[in-house]
Amino acid sequence: MSDTQIDLASLLCSRLCHDLLSPVGAMNNGLELLADEHDPAMQKRCMDLLSDSAKSAVDKLKFFRLAFGAAGGFGDMVDPAEAKAVVEPLVTGSGRTTLEWAVPSAFFPKRVIKILLNLVLIANDTLVRGGTLSVGAEDRGHEQEIVISANGPKVILDEAIGAALLGQLDPSQIDSRTAAAWMVRGLAMRDGGLVQLAQPDLEHKIFGAIIRT
């Protein structure tokens, strides 16, 4: 493994830890409150906090295991249903965003699923006030196309993340915030693939990738 690959893996781990810090911290706070609380109503609220935080942590771990890791084993193909199972709680967990899923049921190459999941992660973060995330994919044999549309009252893409997706960010500037976008571009560009971005208006952002396998 090269130093660049090690650095990327480290940055992806940093992103995972950052996203897990909130629910794990909430669980810790809930346990501290529960230890000193004797009112039944407050005890129930603490238990609800613990339950919600534990579910959030588990959902994120399952998502990152497939998006960054080797979930699904070492086979070359992944069931899209497995991807949807980890995407749905990530997107809809806040109650402010709905998911539209239009991905064929046939197995996709693992590289394609990883690109799809990481584009979902990036697109979902742009919906700062919620909205609708539409995820679509098409398999043409030796070429797969992914299109993800983020639609909402306020859609904001971090400039550095957009630059990383389009290959306009210097490698020395890659950090935990932009690592997923950098990985998406690297995976998509193999064998002549590409990544595309479009913003028809302030309420829509479209992320596209063509992967050749």
Q: Looking at residue 86, which CATH number applies to its domain?
A: 3.30.565.10
187 CA to centre of own chain: 15
**pTM across the whole model:** 0.88
Q: What is the DSSP letter of 213?
A: -
Whether 38 shows a pLDDT value over 90: the answer reads no
Whether 85 shows a pLDDT value over 80: the answer reads yes
Give the number of other Cβ atoms within 10 Å of residue 187's Cβ.
18
Which residue segment(s) compose the domain that 178 sits in? Answer: 3-212
pLDDT tens-digit series, residues 135-164: 999 999 889 999 999 999 999 999 999 999
Write down the pLDDT at residue 154. Answer: 93
**Domain count along the chain:** 1
Beta-carbon-side half-sphere exposure of residue 177 (alpha carbons within 13 Å):
11
Tokens read off for 83: 């991807």
Whether 182 shows a pLDDT value over 90: the answer reads yes
Tokens read off for 159: 């400039």
Using CA atoms of 17, 23, 26, 27 in order, give the dihedral in degrees to the nearest 10.
-100
